[in-house]
Amino acid sequence: MSFDLPLVAELLALGCTAGFLAGLLGIGGGMLMVPFITLILSQRGVGGALAVKMAIATSMATILFTSISSVRAHHKRGAVRWELVRTLAPGIVMGGLAAGAGVFALLKGSTLALVFGLFVAFSATQMLLDKKPAPSRQMPGAGGRVAAGGVIGFISGLVGAGGGFISVPFMTWCNVPIHNAVATSAALGFPIALAATLGYVIGGWNLDSGLPGAVGYLWLPALAVIASASVLLAPLGARTAHAMNVQSLKRVFALVLYALAAYMLHKAFTA
């Protein structure tokens, strides 16, 4: 499989779109990248199950770069709740490592696609319904945040997303304003991506995919192109998020998630 000019153009376009959505919605861009990298790999002869796994791992690795660019823009506006980042991050790291280094390698690609699709659809529904949380509900204490971080990191590690599809609905359910939830989720993307990517490298160390530039489950040429484009567009997405009203932001979030869930459920049942 050659790394040709049309492929580079596709990856650049994907990186720009993913970076913009990472800043806009705090989702790290992974939810967009996984379906499209899966499609790109499948069109170039990579088997369906392996394509899903490599797309998940490569997508997660790009979030290392996108999250830094996105969170800087949000931080300048004072939107990141750093006390939540500090208390959620330890659980996220443990969950991400457990998923990336262990469970990920054991599960079939079709199973991972099914898990991805179902969780994304659930998150979209919660956001679209816009159920108002009880006024008294607050974020849990330190122990509860570590546990919540573990769940976010583990599921994110399985599906290759930055965790925003869980952490944003979770934080808004706990009465964290949507703009703060998006910004904080962007900051959480880095520890999620770091732990899970390390896990993918460990879990896929002996894998021979036959793909030029692949290290385990990571496709390094695609990682380089997508990351380069995404870091440029993430700040623009962050600025756009702060200019939108809350209801519009939630609707955009939900509709993007539904579209991606549909594609990955299709892959799950056809892989």
**pLDDT for residue 86:** 92
Handedness of CA 40, 46, 52, 58 (dihedral sign): negative
Per the domain annotation, does 271 fall within a domain? no
**pLDDT for residue 30:** 66
Phi/psi for 215 (5° steps) reads -125, 105
Phi/psi for 218 (5° steps) reads -90, 135
Q: With bands split at pLDDT 50, 70 and 90, how would you rate the model's confidence at 161?
A: low
- pLDDT higher than 90, residue 22: no
Burial 190-211 (b: 16+ CB within 10 A, else e): bbbbbbbbbbbbebbeebebeb
In angstroms, how far apart are the furthest CA atoms of the chain? 57
At 81-110, the pLDDT tens digits run 999 999 999 998 898 888 877 777 777 777
CA distances 44 to 48, 53, 121, 244, 268, Å, are 11, 15, 28, 39, 19
**Count of CB atoms situated within 10 Å of the CB of 108:** 13
Q: Tell me the residue range of the domain where 235 lies.
A: 5-266
Per the domain annotation, does 25 fall within a domain? yes
Per the domain annotation, does 82 fall within a domain? yes
Structural contact between residues 189 and 66, judged by C-beta atoms closer than 8 angstroms: yes
**pLDDT for residue 1:** 46
Q: Which residue has the higher pLDDT, 118 or 45?
A: 118
At 61-85, the pLDDT tens digits run 888 887 787 788 788 888 899 999 9
Per the domain annotation, does 246 fall within a domain? yes
- pLDDT higher than 60, residue 194: yes
Per the domain annotation, does 15 fall within a domain? yes
Q: How many domains does the chain have?
A: 1
Say how many Å lie between the first and final Cα of the chain, rounded. 20
Per the domain annotation, does 252 fall within a domain? yes
- pLDDT higher than 70, residue 241: yes
Q: Report the chain's mean pLDDT, rounded to a whole number.
A: 80
**pLDDT for residue 210:** 64
Helix (H, G, I), strand (E, B) or coil at 215: strand
- pLDDT higher than 50, residue 214: yes
- pLDDT higher than 70, residue 42: yes
pLDDT-above-90 percentage for the chain: 6
Q: What is the mean pLDDT of residues 234-249?
A: 76
CA distance 104 to 90: 20
Per the domain annotation, does 184 fall within a domain? yes
**What is the pTM assigned to this prediction?**
0.69
